DNA sequence: TCGATTTGTTTCGACTCGATACCAAATGCA
DNA sequence: TGCATTTGGTATCGAGTCGAAACAAATCGA
């Protein structure tokens, strides 16, 4: 059956990437999950840089993520900032050192080269995988963590000016490209 | 850049599958890596069901794999059989219980359903991922672990009769579909 | 025959991860 | 307002993964 083949393929690719991530993080004393956390924090928006959001993104328990963050903070790769509105909430901000580690470590050079051999630079692959991920997340009742600009709450207000229909906050063009934990895809045919 | 997007996609899919595997293995007290080992042993040929081959397949160290096998043996999911030729070598054979666990656990139902939403049942996806995996394995100097029948040592000898050009062993039609650690893809254009 | 290589095991320590309990702040509800 | 519930985050514990290193045994090769 095709499902079996695809499952094994994705699993093996996942393992390979993990192995490479392990190697990439080793010189900094970081595990794969640490690099993933850093990368998420680099590309998420200001509503989504909290331990709770990261927990959902990684699909781990909050206790586990709390430990991860402790380590990253000790290494000086991120700092915590209390929220001014909700005093339970903490925002996670990458330091310069954190950004530097990411820049150096990801994505691995090998991966880029392997990709260049694919037809169309992997555009079709991108599309299929995106769809597959979307379906799996929906089946698991998981959030999609898509880019702000592709959300159903995203509103255009003229040239280069946007707004989030959920929070009513104005959004810049840069904002619109960041990942959001409240992201909901636009349901086609509606 | 497209490489970044694809990298993140594959990583997230990998994480999702791991999470599902974790859940699937939980009732049996198995970790993701245990299920992966069982699945490999189910689909590899008689040259490749050894600890060393499994170690290469999983990309772990032999010490780690040895621990994994100890656990699987204790649970009665596989048994070890000494090789008659080389007394250092041990063959790993799934028990009925091992096969039963696999049948029940993989691939997850959710995955199959998500897949059914893809155009062409994911045939194009399959092709792209296969190529990507091949490129990555080549870049990492890793073995491909492809199906025997797609190997450059595979020889046809008439209707339903085959032979391995490396070992000179005769091969059945079933053999030709199993994964082999000596597998080498046919280089196109030669 | 003797060293080098290969196959597999054992042991150790660092680390992940889930489970559980816990605390504080916010929210819902009467 | 008052109190239970929910939410966000932390701390602690134990099971288990994983790599590194040391080790034993069989095989290979000069």
pLDDT in tens, B6-49: 888 888 888 888 888 888 888 888 999 999 999 999 999 988 99
Most confident residue range from A169-178, B102-111, B141-150? A169-178
Predicted confidence at residue B97, as pLDDT, reads 92
Domain with CATH 2.20.70 in chain B: 140-190
Contact flag, residue B183 CB and nucleic strand D, below 7 A? no
Contact flag, residue B63 CB and nucleic strand D, below 7 A? yes
The second-level CATH assignment, the architecture, of B2-110 is: Orthogonal Bundle (1.10)
pLDDT of A189 strictly over 70 = no
Q: Which nucleotides of C are covered by protein (CB under 7 A)?
A: 6-12, 15-21, 24-27
- A79 band by pLDDT with thresholds 50, 70 and 90: very high
- C-alpha–C-alpha distance, residues B106 and B95, integer Å: 17
Give the residue nearest to nucleotide D8 (CA to C1').
A88
Q: Please judge whether B8 and A110 are an interchain contact, meaning their C-beta atoms are less than 8 angstroms apart.
A: no
Predicted confidence at residue A34, as pLDDT, reads 93
Tell me: the pLDDT tens digits for B86-116?
Answer: 999 999 999 999 999 988 886 777 777 777 7
Predicted confidence at residue B1, as pLDDT, reads 56
In the structure encoding, which two tokens stand for residue A24, read together? 């990439």
Predicted confidence at residue A190, as pLDDT, reads 42
Instruction: Tell me whether strands A90-94 and A78-82 are parallel, antiparallel or unpaired.
Output: antiparallel
Whole-number Å distance, CA A115 to C1' D16? Answer: 35
In the structure encoding, which two tokens stand for residue A162, read together? 């946007």
Buried b (16+ CB within 10 A) or exposed e, A133-163: bebbbebeeebbbbbbbebebbeeeeeeebe
Contact flag, residue A45 CB and nucleic strand D, below 7 A? no
Contact flag, residue B71 CB and nucleic strand C, below 7 A? no
Predicted confidence at residue A3, as pLDDT, reads 77
pLDDT of A1 strictly over 70 = no
Using a CB-CB cut-off of 8 Å, the residues of chain B touching A187 are none
Give the residue nearest to nucleotide D27 (CA to C1').
B86
- C-alpha–C-alpha distance, residues A66 and A52, integer Å: 9
Asked if B76 and B97 count as a contact pair (C-beta separation under 8 A), the reply is yes
Query: How much is the average pLDDT of B57-66?
Result: 92
Tell me: the pLDDT tens digits for A9-45?
Answer: 888 888 888 888 888 888 888 999 999 999 999 999 9
Q: Which CATH number fits domain B140-190: 3.90.70, 2.20.70, 3.30.160, 2.40.30?
A: 2.20.70
Task: Give how far B34 is from chain A: nearest CA, Å.
Answer: 13
Helix, coil or strand: residue A79:
strand
Using a CB-CB cut-off of 8 Å, the residues of chain B touching A15 are 14, 36, 58-59
- The more confident residue out of A163 and B114 is A163
Lowest mean pLDDT among A18-32, B77-91, B133-147: B133-147
Domain with CATH 1.10.10.10 in chain A: 2-110
Q: Please tell me what DSSP assigns to residue A87.
A: T
Buried b (16+ CB within 10 A) or exposed e, A88-100: eeebbebeeebee
The radius of gyration of chain A's CA atoms, rounded to the nearest angstrom, is: 18
Contact flag, residue B62 CB and nucleic strand C, below 7 A? yes
Helix, coil or strand: residue B134:
helix
Predicted confidence at residue A188, as pLDDT, reads 60
Predicted confidence at residue A114, as pLDDT, reads 77
Considering only the beta carbons, identify the residue of B16, B106, B139 that sits closest to A110: B139
pLDDT of A146 strictly over 60 = yes
Identify nearest nucleotide to residue B80 by CA to C1′ distance: C8
Query: How much is the average pLDDT of B127-141?
Result: 83
In the structure encoding, which two tokens stand for residue A132, read together? 């597959």
Query: How much is the average pLDDT of A118-139?
Result: 80
Q: How many CB atoms lie within 10 A of CB B32?
A: 19
For tokens 């994911």, the residue is B122
Whole-number Å distance, CA A129 to C1' C29? Answer: 45
Helix, coil or strand: residue A7:
helix
């Amino acid at each position: 059956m095709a499902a079996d083949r695809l499952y094994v393929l994705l699993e093996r690719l996942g393992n390979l990437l993990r192995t490479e991530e392990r190697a990439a993080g080793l010189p900094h004393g970081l595990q794969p999950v640490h690099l993933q956390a850093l990368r998420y924090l680099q590309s998420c928006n200001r509503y989504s840089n909290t331990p709770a959001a990261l927990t959902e993104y990684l699909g781990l328990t909050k206790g586990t993520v709390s430990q991860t963050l402790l380590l990253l903070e000790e290494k000086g790769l991120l700092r915590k900032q209390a929220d001014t509105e909700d005093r339970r909430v903490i925002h996670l901000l990458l330091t310069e050192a954190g950004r530097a580690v990411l820049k150096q470590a990801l994505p691995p050079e090998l991966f880029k080269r392997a990709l260049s051999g694919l037809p169309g630079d992997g555009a079709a692959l991108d599309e299929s995988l995106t769809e597959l991920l979307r379906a799996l997340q929906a089946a698991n009742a998981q959030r999609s963590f898509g880019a702000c600009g592709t959300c159903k709450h995203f509103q255009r207000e003229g040239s280069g000016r946007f707004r989030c229909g959920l929070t009513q906050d104005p959004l810049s063009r840069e904002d619109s490209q960041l990942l959001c934990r409240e992201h909901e895809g636009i349901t086609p045919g509606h």
